[in-house]
């Protein structure tokens, strides 16, 4: 089989970096998308992989990233929308959106939308790193997507991880007939740099000896590797959410097709996409 061209966002650290190493070892052509120039170039050198940089708190950088990627690669077999995290106190990005909502949902929505012609032409797999937090702390209010009324870091995080699943189902519904396959997954609770941007107590799970109780980045990355290497419709089912490489139930809102459409339409309007 020829090597797949696999774009991974959030590839500079944690689950994304572990997956990039695993896929490179399998002979795939991995393209690293990172925020930190130092961390991303270091991994690019280690793997001999191409890389691109963008900070998702600035949507103009996502536009620039998409243009760079489209110019550089005629095919994209896999887009792994993996970058993200839980944030601290509520703040707005330079684009005027709540930061968690922009980094975890709007930016990957924009990147995917801008790359759609190449993704469709490549019959690409589009993978979202969601989270069990969608079920535990997510409760989307379509009229308060940016949590102006009820912000806490876990709620904003859970809402966006729920949005990742709704995006997956709606992307599959809209573009599945044109060859795209979309899937979302929870990587496990993984000892990464996750929660480094928050002061919420959840950081103690990731930044103290309690880390030993959760799985390694390599184990978490294997779930993303499994989806990237898999054959949609054979090894995994498009348009659904996985935990431990098995189809799983998430938040009841995740199967609300009307909500998925509304979220898509609101996202298009917020991003001024045609
Ligand atoms: N760890 C867990 O237990 C867990 C559980 C469920 C889901 N997840 C999800 O897994 C994904 C990867 O997280 P991780 O655990 O591997 O954490 P991580 O080690 O902190 O990696 C997060 C990645 O996202 C990048 N990133 C963060 N903010 C960004 C921004 N504003 N613009 C562009 N890139 C940005 C980071 O870049 P830098 O290297 O520059 O920081 C890094 O490459 C996230 O979507 C997270 O929500 C994690």
How many alpha carbons fall within 13 Å on the CB side of residue 85? 26
Give the closest residue (by CA) to ligand 1 atom 47: 85
Atom of ligand 1 nearest to the CA of 16: 16
Cβ contacts of residue 127 below 8 Å, gap of 6+?
Answer: 78, 79, 80, 81, 82, 182, 183, 184, 185, 224, 227, 228
Would you say the CB of residue 80 lies under 6 angstroms from ligand 1?
no
In this predicted structure, what is the pLDDT of residue 147? 98
In this predicted structure, what is the pLDDT of residue 196? 74
User: Does the structure show a pLDDT above 90 at 211?
Assistant: no
Helix 37-47 vs helix 14-25: crossing angle, to nearest 10? 20
Would you say the CB of residue 14 lies under 6 angstroms from ligand 1?
yes
User: Does the structure show a pLDDT above 90 at 118?
Assistant: yes
Query: Region 203-225: what's the mean pLDDT?
Result: 81
In this predicted structure, what is the pLDDT of residue 204? 66
In this predicted structure, what is the pLDDT of residue 228? 98
| Tens-digit pLDDT profile for residues 3-47 | 999 999 999 999 999 999 999 999 999 999 999 999 999 999 999
User: Does the structure show a pLDDT above 80 at 202?
Assistant: no
Would you say the CB of residue 56 lies under 6 angstroms from ligand 1?
yes
Domain limits at 143? 5-270
Q: With beta carbons less than 8 A apart as the criterion, state whether 142 and 124 touch.
A: no
Q: With beta carbons less than 8 A apart as the criterion, state whether 165 and 134 touch.
A: yes
Q: Look up 175 and say whether it is catalytic.
A: no
Q: Among 84, 87, 132, name the best residue to mutate to test ligand 1's pocket (greatest count of ligand atoms within 8 A of Cβ).
A: 84
- In the chain, what percentage of residues exceed pLDDT 70? 96
Would you say the CB of residue 181 lies under 6 angstroms from ligand 1?
no
In this predicted structure, what is the pLDDT of residue 191? 81
Domain harbouring 12, CATH code: 3.40.50.720
| Tens-digit pLDDT profile for residues 168-187 | 999 999 999 999 999 999 99
In this predicted structure, what is the pLDDT of residue 206? 67
Query: Region 140-144: what's the mean pLDDT?
Result: 97
Distance CA 191, CA 214 (A): 6
Mean pLDDT of the chain: 95
- pLDDT band for position 199 (50/70/90)? confident
More confident residue, 262 or 210: 262
Helices (H), the chain: 14-25, 37-47, 59-72, 99-101, 107-121, 133-136, 153-175, 203-207, 217-229, 257-270
The secondary structure of residue 200, as a DSSP letter, is S
Active-site annotation holder among 151, 157, 175, 206: 157
| Tens-digit pLDDT profile for residues 149-159 | 989 999 999 99
Query: Region 126-136: what's the mean pLDDT?
Result: 97
Overall domain count for the chain: 1
């Amino acid at each position: 089989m020829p090597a797949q061209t696999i774009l991974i966002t959030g590839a500079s650290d944690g689950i994304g970096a572990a997956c990039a190493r695993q896929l490179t070892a399998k002979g795939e052509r991995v393209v690293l998308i990172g925020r930190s120039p130092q961390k991303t170039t270091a991994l690019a050198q280690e793997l001999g992989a191409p890389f691109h940089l963008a900070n998702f708190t600035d949507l103009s950088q996502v536009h620039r990233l998409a243009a760079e990627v489209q110019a550089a690669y005629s095919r994209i077999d896999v887009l792994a929308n993996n970058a993200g995290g839980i944030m601290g106190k509520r703040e707005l990005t330079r684009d005027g959106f709540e930061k968690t909502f922009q980094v975890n949902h709007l930016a990957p929505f924009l990147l995917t939308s801008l790359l759609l012609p190449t993704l469709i032409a490549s019959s690409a797999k589009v993978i979202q790193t969601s989270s069990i937090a969608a079920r535990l702390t997510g409760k989307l209010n379509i009229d308060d997507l940016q949590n102006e009324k009820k912000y806490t870091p876990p709620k904003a995080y859970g809402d966006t991880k729920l949005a990742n699943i709704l995006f997956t189902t709606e992307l599959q519904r809209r573009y599945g007939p044109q060859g795209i396959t979309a899937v979302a997954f929870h990587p496990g609770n993984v000892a990464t740099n996750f929660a480094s941007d928050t002061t919420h107590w959840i950081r103690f799970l990731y930044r103290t000896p309690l880390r030993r109780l959760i799985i390694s980045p390599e184990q978490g990355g294997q779930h993303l590797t499994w989806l990237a290497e898999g054959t949609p419709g054979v090894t995994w089912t498009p348009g659904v959410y996985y935990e431990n490489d098995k189809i799983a139930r998430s938040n009841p809102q995740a199967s609300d097709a009307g909500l998925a459409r509304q979220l898509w339409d609101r996202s298009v309007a917020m991003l001024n996409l045609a």
